[in-house]
Each structure stands twice: as structure tokens, then as C-alpha cells.
Amino acid sequence: MNRTTPAKRTTIYDLAELAGTSASAVSAVLNGNWKKRRISAKLAEKITKLAEEQGYALNMQASVLRRERSKIIGMIVPKYDNRYFGSIVEQFEALARARGLFPIITCTMRDPALELEAARAMLSYQVDCLVATGATDPDRVMDLCAAAGVRTINLDLPGSRAPSVISDNYGGALELTRRVLANCEREYGAKAPLLFIGGRGTDHNTMERVRGFRDAHAEAGVPVDEALVQTCGYAPEKAENAMRQLAERTSNLPRGMFVNSTISLEGVMRWIRRSGHYAERMPHLGCFDWDPFVAMLGDHIEMVRQDVPKMLEAVFGIIDSGATDITVVQVPPIMEKIG
């Protein structure tokens, strides 16, 4: 096993020499279009066997350099710390592979600068197409790609210059808010405004969810308390801080909350347990996003689960069809039953 040769990789030229044939014949055989190039089955078999024996691996760099399309498909994603993005990435890889595409994914830690840098790196790798997931500035990404002639598709957060696939945030939030309001009323008799916490006030999804939140209140005849709309960011610490400050300002905390992501929920739950508020009775929660353990936390939590399989089918539908019209596909999320 200790190769004195620094393990020079086998190339089609090496195989050609071994087979007593030309590199172009080897290439034709190995990339499968040897019939088109009229190579005999005999030679094809010989080359194939030899390639296997020598452990030949195609040099993608050389191949892509020469070819028109790279068959590489890129995705940028904010984080890997929750089930939503986790399953997006898993699905993306599976569907890409099923189409003979090579997926490359990179996470941007919700950092706008990293987002652009990542997109640039993907362009350097000659991706045929880039899926921008939860991008803070999808249109900038789109512009970068467009200049290089690369298609983009927005996922999770929409952009204005490329097709987008997102959840029906309004509809999901409306229904989720309804349920939490109903749960509160059932327990406390009276209707009272809920807290909205987490997310960025500037991102499309959060705005739509707030809209659903408001409309559900209106439906129920409950006025929204503006001090209780806390779009403080997604990170657990931010949600935790917002809760602390809220508790400092008011003495009677809301009996129900709309929590905008499991990530924010992490902070909310931490605060609830640490602060001792709600010690005698937990608030009714609605969480926009799903996590299996959150579902086990108790019967006071409702969840909306975004339909990742459908969303990714929609993304690849757009990719396959080659459509570039600026549409926004809205995929209805799934209400997860309590318990």
C-alpha cells in the first residue's frame, strides 16, 4: 500500500496506451456515447474493464471545462441547525442526483456578505443553476448570476427577479394564529391578543406571517397589541432577549404566542424555563416550523410544518421546464396536530 509513486491519477491517455487505442476512443466509451461514435462493442468492453482495474476516475475539471453545461447545481442555505433546512438540503441532494446533477451546497450563516461570496464561488465552479434558499438579498444574488448567464431560483424567501418557491406564509400563519387564539379562549374564557416573536421585520415571510397573525386577530375581533409584535431576529438569544425586555416592561404577559421558527422557539422556551414566569401555567404556543421534539414538549404547542417535499418538487419542476418567468409558487404548509 505504500506507493512510492505519488499516485498520479489515471487519465484517459494512460488507459488509451494500455488498451492500444486512442484517448478519444476511451473518452467516448467512458462517457457512454460510444455507439454514436461507432466504437465496437469489443473495444468498449476492453476499455471499460481496464478503467475498472486501474481505478480510473474522470477528471471533472477537465470534463466540465470542455463541456457546454457543467451539470453542477448549487444551493446556498442559511444554517443547518434545524429540521426545515436540514430536510431541504437532503431533498435537494436526492432530487439533484436523480437527475444526474451534482449538488454543491454551502451555508451562509445568515450573513449577507457570505451569501454573495458563496454565490460568487458557485459561479466560479460553473454551476448551471443556483438555488438561493432563505437569502437575505435574493435579488443581489440573482444579479450576480444573471451577469454570468446562470439561472437562479429562490426558495423559502422570494425575490423579485427570479422564480420563487415559498410556503403559503400568510395562510399558514392565519390558521396557526386562529388555533392559538382558540386554545387560549378555551382555557381562559376571554380573548386576548397574542405575542408575535422572532424573524426579521423586513423579510417577506415574516411580513406575511404578521399579516396572517393580524387577520386572524381581526377575524376573532381581538385588537392586535403593537407592543407584542416582536420581530427581533431568528437567533435564540435574540428571542430570549426580547422576552426578557418584554417582561420588564409589562406585568401581565400574553397567554399565547406565535413563535416564528423553531430556532426562535429555542430562545423563548429557554427564557420561559429560566425566568420562572409562566411557572404555574404554560402559555399556548404556535410555532411556524416543525421539530419532532417540540411536538413532544406538551399539548400547549401547535406547529406549522412547511411542505419541503412539495417545495423541492416545485423547484425542480421549474429547473426541468427551463421556465424563467418570475412567478411565486406558494406551497401550503401542513398543520401538525397537537401531541
Partner DNA sequence: CACATTTGCTCAATCGATGAAGCAAGAATT
Partner DNA sequence: AATTCTTGCTTCATCGATTGAGCAAATGTG
Residues that bind DNA (CB under 7 A): 8-9, 11-13, 20-25, 27-28, 30-31, 33, 37-40, 42-43, 58-59, 62-63, 65-68
- Taking the least distance from each CB to DNA, the nearer of 3 and 38 is 38
Helix (H), strand (E) at residue 60: helix 60-66
Q: Give the strand pairing for 284-288 and 232-233.
A: unpaired
Which of the listed partners (a second copy, DNA, none) does 28 bind, with a CB threshold of 5 to 8 Å by partner kind? Answer: DNA
Smallest distance from DNA to CB 121, Å: 14
Smallest distance from a second copy to CB 126, Å: 6
194 CB-near residues (< 8 Å, 6+ apart): 177, 180, 181, 184, 213, 217, 228, 254, 256, 257, 258, 286
Smallest distance from DNA to CB 48, Å: 13
Q: What would the grid cell of residue 121 be?
A: 464561488
Site for a second copy in 293-322 (CB under 8 A): 293-294, 296-297
302 CB-near residues (< 8 Å, 6+ apart): 176, 179, 180, 183, 284, 285, 286, 287, 335, 336, 338
Nearest residue to 107 (alpha-carbon basis) of 99, 98, 96, 115? 115
Smallest distance from a second copy to CB 88, Å: 9
**Would you say 335 and 302 are in contact if contact means Cβ atoms under 8 Å apart?**
yes
Give the binding range for a second copy (CB under 8 A) out of 3-11, 13-21, 30-38, 224-232: 3-11
Q: What would the grid cell of residue 269 be?
A: 422556551
Which of the listed partners (DNA, a second copy, none) does 250 bind, with a CB threshold of 5 to 8 Å by partner kind? Answer: none
Give yes or no for residue 65 binding a second copy (CB under 8 A): yes
Using DSSP's 3-state secondary structure scheme, residue 284 falls into strand
- Taking the least distance from each CB to DNA, the nearer of 38 and 337 is 38
Interface ranges with a second copy (CB under 8 A): 1, 3, 6-9, 55, 57-62, 64-65, 70, 79-83, 85-87, 89-90, 93-94, 102-107, 109, 120-121, 123-126, 144, 146-149, 161, 236, 262, 266, 269-270, 273, 291-294, 296-297, 339
